[in-house]
Amino acid sequence: MVIRAPTPSGWITGSDRPGAFVTETRLVVLSGLLWLAMVVLAAAGHWLAGLYVLLALLLVYGVLGSSHKGRFDLKLVAFPTGVWIAMWAGAFWLGEYFAQAYAGSAPGFTVLGFHPSFAAIIALFWLLPTLLMGFGFEWVKDRWLSKERWDDYLESVNDPGSDEAPTGGEE
């Protein structure tokens, strides 16, 4: 979606592909509904279900983030974002599984000194996804933001007649 200069009647939005604009709008509305569902579930004490709704929300954000000129790059959503979301789902599931399995008692083992439920969270929620996102985005950086796209963006921002150029007071 391209946001064009303001007019007296408000902001004009446009897209190279109007159908993509409709899809983007629906995804933004869906993200708001998912946020609401997540908060309601958490407030009702269903925190694990709320975390899984969070994963759906992150998937929607991944699809929106892959959009460029009205096109979605679902390969970029699949890797590394999809793998990252799958790791988080596994972390939530294993964390809950081990928390329930050892509820009220200490486990007979630890994983690197951690309770098994916390070890799953450390490994699958924090450590591996952090490495995946760092190295994964490096691996697909040209799909994510190519040098050509970056140069096109800089050219459009520096062009006073461009729709993307800063106007009055923006720096």
Look up residue 112 and give its two tokens. Answer: 């690197």
* Average confidence (pLDDT) over 36-53: 97
pLDDT digits (tens, 9 = 90+) for 96-120: 999 999 999 999 999 999 999 999 9
Q: What is the pLDDT of residue 165?
A: 53
pLDDT digits (tens, 9 = 90+) for 62-80: 999 888 888 889 888 898 8
pLDDT digits (tens, 9 = 90+) for 125-150: 999 999 998 888 888 888 878 889 88
CA gap 121, 123 in Å, rounded: 6
**For residue 18, pLDDT beyond 90:** no
State how beta strands 10-14 and 67-68 pair: unpaired
- Residue among 96, 84, 79 nearest 125 (CA): 84
> Which positions ≥6 away from 35 have C-beta within 8 Å?
57
pLDDT confidence bin for 1, thresholds 50/70/90:
very low
